[in-house]
Amino acid sequence: MPDSLRFPTVRMRRLRYHPRLRQLVQATRLDPAQLVLPLFVRPGRDERRAIAALPGHDQLSVDRLGDEIRTAARLGLGGVILFGIPAHKDAVGSDAMKDDGIVQQALRAAKDAAPELLVVSDVCCCEYTSHGHCGVVDDATGRVDVNNDATLELLGQQAVSHARAGADVVAPSGMMDGMVGAIRAALDDAGFAHVPIMSYAAKYASAFYGPFREAAESTPQFGDRRAYQMDPAAEAGQALREVELDLAEGADLVMVKPALAYLDVIRLVRDRFPGVPLAAYNVSGEYSMVKAAAANGWIDERAVALESLTAIHRAGAGIILTYWARDVARWLG
């Protein structure tokens, strides 16, 4: 190393003394316009049921959704993503495809409340199926499993129904092979060629989804999701193949999920696919852990949340789905 690069010539702390200089040399800044807030809708009237494992979040009936939507719009959030808890579940998740299904009602209510707010709909079967898996389950392969290709047809119908109800973006989260292509074709055929797809492209079989499954009442009734979601111990490069395939099938935006335990994957995807909008889902468990520790007085929620989101952004995610979206807008506002 040349002398000119050595202490005392170089003092890294010079950039850190003045608060304005620290700010001037920042490269990562959080912006509410890049955050997407998850919302949970349930049947009934005038219902607001607290989700114990996600403090600060509730299952809302459609008539109570308007206030949340207007708040999200007023705070300047990038958007909301809707998850539905249907009144009836069955083996194929029929309610997911109905034009008067819970998410379809919620989409219409959201568009009524604040037409300018971006509304994303999660496209998956697990909230609607009695068994809680992300597709049709059968034993066609000789073992009980989600039938990939039979599920694609249902996902296409669900996405079209969401688009008809006003979804600005559809977000398939079931990790079925070919799901993006099937949804793209179904949307195009139905006159929705303009509706973008945000694919949960690299979604891992993660224990960090625990609180969400309480929120969405979508815990698998048998087995787990390891036969379709990615193995956390697989080579990180497998995520690149997933993203590449989804892009080839027509994905407009791609997602890595969860976020904090997969920052390496976010960085890898960012570097390999510049120009592709990249989202990361700061999932329920990442939020609940901090909430629980903060409730015990062990950690400063606001500081930890902002640091976590900054890390996710720095790793390369331009868009972050987070349960802190509203709080961040208020903290930064």
Q: Residue 137 CB, nearest distance to ligand PBG (Å)? A: 14
Q: Residue 221 CB, nearest distance to ligand PBG (Å)? A: 13
Q: Residue 148 CB, nearest distance to ligand PBG (Å)? A: 15
Task: Tell me: does residue 308 bind ligand PBG (CB under 6 A).
Answer: no
Task: Tell me: does residue 84 bind ligand PBG (CB under 6 A).
Answer: no
Q: Residue 260 CB, nearest distance to ligand PBG (Å)? A: 12
Shortest CA distance to 93 belongs to which of 131, 61, 143?
131
Site map 209..238 versus ligand PBG, x via CB under 6 A: x--xx-------------------------
Q: Which helix (H) or strand (E) holds 119?
A: strand 119-123
Give catalytic status of residue 257 as yes or no: yes
Q: Which residues of 119-150 are buried (b: 16+ CB within 10 A; e: fewer)?
A: bbbbbbbbbbbebbbbbbbeeeeeeebbebee
Q: Identify the residue whose tokens are 């939507």.
A: 69
User: Which of positions 144-173 make contact with ligand PBG (CB under 6 A)?
Assistant: 173
Pairing of strands 137-138, 145-146: antiparallel
User: Which of positions 111-140 make contact with ligand PBG (CB under 6 A)?
Assistant: 122, 124, 126, 134
φ, ψ of residue 198 in degrees (nearest 5): -105, 110
Q: Which of 174, 181, 196, 316 binds ligand PBG (CB under 6 A)?
A: 174
Give catalytic status of residue 98 as yes or no: no
**Only segment of 26-34, 179-187, 207-215, 300-308 that touches ligand PBG (CB under 6 A):** 207-215
Q: Identify the residue whose tokens are 């249907």.
A: 86
Q: Which helix (H) or strand (E) holds 286?
A: helix 284-295
Task: Tell me: does residue 243 bind ligand PBG (CB under 6 A).
Answer: no
Cβ-proximal residue to ligand PBG, closest one: 212
From residue 119, alpha-carbon distances to 162, 260, 330 in Å are 10, 24, 20
Q: Which of 284, 288, 308, 322 binds ligand PBG (CB under 6 A)?
A: 284
**Could you please report the per-residue DSSP string of 61-115?**
EGGGHHHHHHHHHHTT-SEEEEEE--S--BTT-GGGG-TTSHHHHHHHHHHHH-T
The site for ligand PBG (CB under 6 A) is made up of 122, 124, 126, 134, 173-174, 209, 212-213, 283-284
- Active-site residues: which are they? 203, 257
